[in-house]
């Protein structure tokens, strides 16, 4: 089953377009955080989303794929896994 996660950073933003895109991509369950900054460490709906996934430590080891619709990343394809892997190893702009 495909599940989705939506986050909008302010209460003024409307998540409907993101939700519609996820439904169109086949998501049957969608978790939504509204008014959550990207810098916050705890996002209640993201935590629920991750908890709903298969038991295990790492997403890939759980057999969980990842898709980012805006960036066209899909870890269920070889190219998507490569891009995702490279992004994870890319140094941050602050050098950390």
Q: Which domains does the chain have, with CATH numbers?
A: 1-52 (3.40.50.1390), 58-96 (no CATH)
The whole-number pLDDT of residue 21 equals 92
96 residues of the chain, pLDDT tens digit each: 888 999 888 878 899 999 999 999 999 999 999 876 666 567 889 889 888 876 666 667 777 788 888 878 888 888 888 877 777 665 555 444
pTM, 2 dp: 0.66
Asked if 30 and 6 count as a contact pair (C-beta separation under 8 A), the reply is yes
Instruction: Provide φ and ψ at 70, rounded to 5°.
Output: -65, -35
C-alpha distances out from residue 94 to 5, 22, 81, Å: 28, 32, 25
Burial class for 43, CB neighbours closer than 10 Å (0-12, 13-18, 19+): middle
**Which residues does the annotation mark as catalytic?**
9
């Amino acid at each position: 089953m495909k599940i989705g996660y939506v986050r909008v950073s302010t209460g003024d933003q409307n998540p409907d377009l993101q939700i519609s895109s996820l439904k169109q991509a086949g998501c049957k369950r969608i978790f939504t955080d509204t008014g959550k900054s990207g810098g916050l460490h705890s996002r209640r709906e993201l935590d629920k989303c991750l908890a709903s996934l298969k038991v295990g430590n790492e997403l890939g080891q759980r057999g969980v794929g990842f898709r980012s619709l805006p960036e066209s990343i899909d870890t269920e394809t070889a190219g998507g896994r490569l891009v995702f892997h490279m992004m994870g190893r890319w140094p941050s702009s602050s050098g950390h």
